Chain A
């Protein structure tokens, strides 16, 4: 019977989930604690979970919608509130992805005790980050739906596709977290790089515009951004009543699985040196 460390050497695709399953109680507790810790000690406490996205949405809507008088590009759609909702969908998904990405480089560096003092299944930390980000996502999504109902009325049936679209994104983010957190231990520049890349991702994702208005060669390039497919499909499902394209979804999911596996493989391969350099 081996200890936790030896077991982590499983490299197959199933292993992505088996360690999560084994430590599910641990992951849940740590994620909950982390989610709460963000607000512990602040005056408004848990309200921030809702207030945060709301305030941000308000800000973007004002700046882009009112001050810059932007409309939803390529269409005649107007109405500040409607445009705000369109932004919000993109922001919710974008926020989720970027939260994972920017936490990743320092994820292990912040938890030195888990590396050096205790036998800890380190790959589980990525799950904790993901679950914490997902909790935030739920809050934001709930607010989104509340506003949607208030502004547009009842959502179409295709809105049920939202979780289906978000799931591969989550898996993909998991892979990125594994990759970046492991890299971040050896190359401290990773954190700095992420600070620069994050705004770039924001403008390279269809948060403030639909893919349709982007001229051709650039559009294909933008689809390389994993967020693009998710945001476009989510918006279409919610506002146009279109279910996401099945082949597209299949490819997306496969890609997400592959990237998750790749990220974990990298993590496991270089895990041996963590205790030496931290």
Chain B
């Protein structure tokens, strides 16, 4: 028995007229055709979703994800193509239940449910469940404009999952909300999948991978790829990090850890400024500039790492005048700007005197620490030491981006290499020890 198709979209497209006066849009409708060159937010999208399926939509900002969802739930009219929807569609677009900021949470929830076709009696019966799920306490009776974004999302989501919807459309809304709420949402979504269909647009690759059966990658309004979540997400991440890291043919995905080579000894550093300070002191306008910074692993540019690889960080600089003692430094920051680690060339024995106009490359070789999945930004700086005084010549806060795709979930800022743990009952019994480990085959 083939599952029931709840959503059937063919050739969907949406164009916005170039003239941005509302009157132009009216003329367009009245004339029934497009006069001017339009901007196509979405072109020729086909999509079929059956009951029980969860489909994810990923793409950069501006790729048309929100437009697609708006078309599918009927908020915007398609310029081309058709979309047929069966059953009740509950949509959570932008921020949750933001229907009317003046209404209270309770009224908005009622309104949302009523708009989805429930009558007063049905809503009254479910209201307790909605309230419990949203769990916003006294805010239920406060105007919506006093809600935080997390609360709005909770309320909107609570309504959506309690209205017996057949198709649930979710757009980016799960990014807000604390971890507890996100957990609740994930559980609710999983339950929802059993009776309905889900369409989810998100930047959260991890969420999409864990919930969806199928993923569609939208790029500049067109479907670029469609398939299993792992494959498509990986392709997507490769493509985005390639764009950010400037074009390099042939790059390498991260792999196994290997022993670090050539360890430098650090002398006692306490009296000297820390690397982070080197990178933040005042700037002198001329002297040298940082040309590029790239991570390499096993000879090729490293775009996506796993943690633990033997990497080389090559920072290429150019001196505009003669430098007596050049120092190159770097810092790696997470997406919140927290500095994770860094180093500089102060203890290097090799000559640091550079002629004017010459280029010089600094190579740092180290084992990349195990980091959680995410994007990290490299900051590179070049300075000059004059006696005890160090002057910053140039600092590039985002010289490179490194994407880490770790297989081991992390509970904090750093991650662990593969962990092996044993749990042994300590009193009585002849039970064999229970071995718990992850990536044991690594």
Contacts and interface: CB of A to CB of B under 8 A. Distances in A.
Q: Are A and B interaction partners?
A: yes
Interface of A: 1-6, 25-26, 29-30, 33, 37, 111, 113-121, 185-188, 269-270, 272-273, 275-277
B87 A275 contact: no
B93 A273 contact: no
Contacts of B360: none
Contact of B99 (A25, A114, A186, A187): A114
Contact of B74 (A3, A185, A186): A3
B302 interface: no
Contacts of B115: 4, 26, 118-121
A116 B70 CA distance: 8
Contact of B120 (A25, A30, A117): A25
A34 to B, nearest CB: 10
Given A26-B114, A113-B100, A277 B25 contact: yes
Contacts, number: 85
B22 A277 contact: yes
B75 A119 contact: yes
A120 B112 CA distance: 9
B102 interface: yes
Contact of A275 (B23, B28, B70): B70
Interface string B135-151: 00000000000000000
A186 B112 contact: no
Interface in B86-116: 86-89, 91, 93-94, 98-103, 107, 110-112, 114-115
Secondary structure at chain A's binding surface: helix, strand, loop or mixed?
Answer: helix
A54 B5 CA distance: 60
Given A117-B93, A275-B76, 15 more contacts: A3-B73, A6-B74, A25-B120, A26-B114, A33-B107, A37-B102, A114-B99, A117-B99, A118-B75, A121-B115, A187-B23, A269-B29, A270-B29, A273-B22, A277-B22
29 contacts: A1-B87, A2-B85, A3-B73, A3-B88, A4-B74, A4-B117, A26-B115, A29-B111, A30-B111, A113-B98, A113-B99, A113-B100, A113-B101, A115-B75, A117-B98, A117-B99, A118-B91, A119-B73, A119-B74, A119-B115, A120-B115, A186-B26, A187-B22, A270-B30, A272-B77, A275-B70, A275-B75, A277-B22, A277-B25
Contacts of A1: 86-87
Contacts of B103: 33
B4 to A, nearest CB: 12
Contacts of A4: 74, 115, 117
Nearest to A188: B22
Contacts of B107: 33
Interface in B52-70: 70
A272 B22 contact: no
Nearest to B117: A4
B101 to A, nearest CB: 8
Q: How large is the interface on B (under 10, 10 to 19, 20 to 34, 35 or more residues)?
A: 35 or more
Interface in B348-378: none
B74 A5 contact: yes
Nearest to B94: A117
Contacts of B112: 118
Main secondary structure of the interface of B (DSSP, over half): mixed
Interface string B13-39: 000100000110110111000000000
Nearest to A276: B25
Nearest to B84: A2
A33 B114 CA distance: 15
B119 interface: yes
Contacts of B73: 3, 119
B105 to A, nearest CB: 14
Contacts of B70: 116, 275
Contacts of B29: 269-270, 272-273
A119 B73 CA distance: 7
A106 to B, nearest CB: 14
Contacts of A187: 22-23, 26
Contacts of A118: 75, 91, 93, 99, 112, 115
Contacts of A275: 70, 75-77
Contacts of B75: 115-119, 275
Q: 4 shortest A-B CB distances, which residue pairs?
A: A5-B74, A277-B22, A186-B26, A272-B77
A117 B112 CA distance: 11
B436 to A, nearest CB: 46
A25 B114 contact: yes
Contacts of A121: 115
Contacts of B91: 118-119
A186 B94 contact: no
Contacts of A115: 75
Nearest to A186: B26
Nearest to A269: B29
A113 B100 CA distance: 7
Contacts of B111: 26, 29-30
Nearest to A30: B111
A116 B119 CA distance: 23
Contacts of A119: 73-75, 89, 91, 115
A4 B307 CA distance: 51
Contacts of B102: 37
Nearest to B103: A33
Contacts of A120: 115
B87 A273 contact: no
Given A1-B86, A188-B22, A273 B28 contact: yes
B119 to A, nearest CB: 6
Given A117-B94, A272-B29, A3 B77 contact: no
B39 to A, nearest CB: 11
A137 to B, nearest CB: 24
Given A185-B22, A186-B26, A187-B26, A273 B99 contact: no
